[in-house]
Amino acid sequence: MTGEPITSEDDPETRCGFVSILGLTNAGKSTLVNALVGSKVSIVSRKVQTTRSRILGIAIDDKTQVVLIDTPGIFDPSKTLEKAMVTAAWSSVEGADIVVHLVDAGNKNAASDNDIIGERLHDVKNSILVLNKTDKVSKPQLLALSQHLNDRFSYQSTFMISALKADGTDDLLKALSTDLPVGPWLFDEDQITDMPMRLMAAEITREKLFDQLHQELPYSIFVETENWENFDDGSVKIDQLIYVQKDSQKGIVLGKGGSRVKRVGQDARVELEDILGHRVHLKLFVKVKENWTENAESYTLMGLELPK
């Protein structure tokens, strides 16, 4: 034994496959993906519709590479951006080896609200039900919800977890990995996402904006990494544009004397320095771009397609 990690070249027994995580907004999909990967790859917030595009998180369980697809939540879309998000979520089912239907068990209407997903997964063979947020719900409630959903829809198995507390997540990962097909790993063993760093950096700033802004405003915002410069001493200079849709929104994002955007920049910088292990100079600019939600280029930058 050399102690080297196992790769497909020296071991024919490796497994690898895609697991799509579907659920209503705020079910905890991104929290679960981060818990399984063991590192933050997808941003999380208490607000709905935080995740906008398909994000891959790569987890390893022994000889298996489990490629998790975090998706935007399923809801009834009305705006153009919302339609693109929901389309991206449903399309992740195609090509997935396993589909996880993640349910917020703490949601009082979980039983009825999840019909839209349960029905659509009826013919998907490899779908499993995962009830999340067990830390918030009593055992009898959990069992009743599990019974109700299993009676109405068809799942291969049911798991109960708390993604936030990483409770039950190891068992879930094990179950997923034993169900994935034998085959070579698709990603490097130390890779945790396929997201380019420029996009990851934009997502981190967007998360801090979600943290600090109230109500509807976060949904009007789009962040783009405009410049990324690496220096010899390892430090990085990053310029980002924060697009809003109206002048009045620009004022809110800036805050009094620029105080809010400054706080957002500080929080994002600290997290980026942690990830990159180097000093980061982060500059944020706020710009009005009235119709960014109708503009094909914004969608490409987000990894989405402008709905027809």
Ligand X SMILES: Nc1nc2c(ncn2[C@@H]2O[C@H](COP(=O)(O)OP(=O)(O)O)[C@@H](O)[C@H]2O)c(=O)[nH]1
Q: Is 46 in the site for ligand X (CB under 6 A)?
A: yes
Report, in Å, the least distance between residue 45 CB and Mg ion. 8
Nearest to 103 by CA among 93, 114, 92, 112: 114
The CA distance from 65 to 81, in Å, is: 32
Write the CB contacts of 109 (distance below 8 Å, at least 6 apart in sequence): none
Binder among 15, 17, 23, 30 for Mg ion (CB under 5 A): 30
Residue placing its CB nearer to Mg ion in the complex, 51 or 205? 51
Residue placing its CB nearer to ligand X in the complex, 14 or 205? 205
The CA distance from 281 to 45, in Å, is: 25
Q: Is 51 in the site for Mg ion (CB under 5 A)?
A: yes
CA distances from 228 to 75, 201, 224, 283, 284 (A): 35, 10, 11, 11, 12
Q: Is 34 in the site for Mg ion (CB under 5 A)?
A: no
Residue placing its CB nearer to Mg ion in the complex, 30 or 134? 30
Binder among 51, 53, 107, 293 for ligand X (CB under 6 A): 51
Inter-residue contact 72 to 101 (CB < 8 Å): no
Q: Is 240 in the site for ligand X (CB under 6 A)?
A: no
Residues between 162 and 221 with contacts to ligand X, criterion CB under 6 A: 162-164
Binder among 7, 8, 25, 295 for ligand X (CB under 6 A): 25
Residue placing its CB nearer to Mg ion in the complex, 16 or 41? 41
The CA distance from 19 to 66, in Å, is: 7
